[in-house]
Amino acid sequence: MKKILTLALCLGASTPAFAAPDGQALYGANCGICHQGGGVGAPGQFPPLANRIDKIASTPEGKKYVTAVLMNGLAGSIDAAGATYVGFMPSFKSLSDDDVAAILTYLSSLGSTKPAPVITPADVAAARAAPMPSSGVAAARKALNAAHPLP
């Protein structure tokens, strides 16, 4: 009986109460069709995210911006990684705060910044609580780029 109880306690202790979402899988299912596997982008169509999100999210303003993009979408022209992209990115506000945070943290991990910035569900919830039009997201990008040039 003691062995069974010990085994049950060990198994129970090793089972997490909450399993974190898989950012890579969520990225693949929601973002990879456009931004491609590993966030490499599609030249002339969709900007690369790898080696950029970590740099952008390394400041509080940058974290606020990347979460705003996912909550509100983005339309129009942007310069990214030395190229100009004109298009539309939809909002991903239908995803949970945990899922969006996992996607952004996964993308952040694809950069050279170590340790990679972590985007939390609370960061996403703050962006969700402050909706803005696409023009507001574009203005935030412009202000962020003036303060911390975007890669």
- Please indicate, yes or no, if residue 14 is contained in any of the structural domains: no
- Please indicate, yes or no, if residue 43 is contained in any of the structural domains: yes
First to last CA, the chain: 62
How many domains does one find in the chain?
1
Give me the CATH number covering residue 95. 1.10.760.10
pLDDT (tens digit, 0 to 9) for every residue of the chain, 151 residues total? Answer: 444 433 333 444 444 455 668 999 999 999 999 999 999 999 999 999 999 999 999 999 999 999 999 999 999 999 999 999 999 999 999 999 999 999 999 999 999 999 999 999 999 999 999 999 989 999 999 999 999 999 9
Nearest residue to 119 via CA among 46, 23, 2? 23
- Please indicate, yes or no, if residue 101 is contained in any of the structural domains: yes
For residue 32, the Cα-to-chain-centroid distance in whole angstroms is 12
- Please indicate, yes or no, if residue 24 is contained in any of the structural domains: no
Beta strands 74-80 and 83-89: pairing type? antiparallel
Per-residue pLDDT, 14: 43
Per-residue pLDDT, 18: 56
| pTM (two decimals) | 0.86
Q: What is the rounded CA–CA span in Å between residue 70 and residue 68?
A: 5
- Please indicate, yes or no, if residue 106 is contained in any of the structural domains: yes
- Please indicate, yes or no, if residue 16 is contained in any of the structural domains: no
Per-residue pLDDT, 4: 41
Per-residue pLDDT, 19: 65
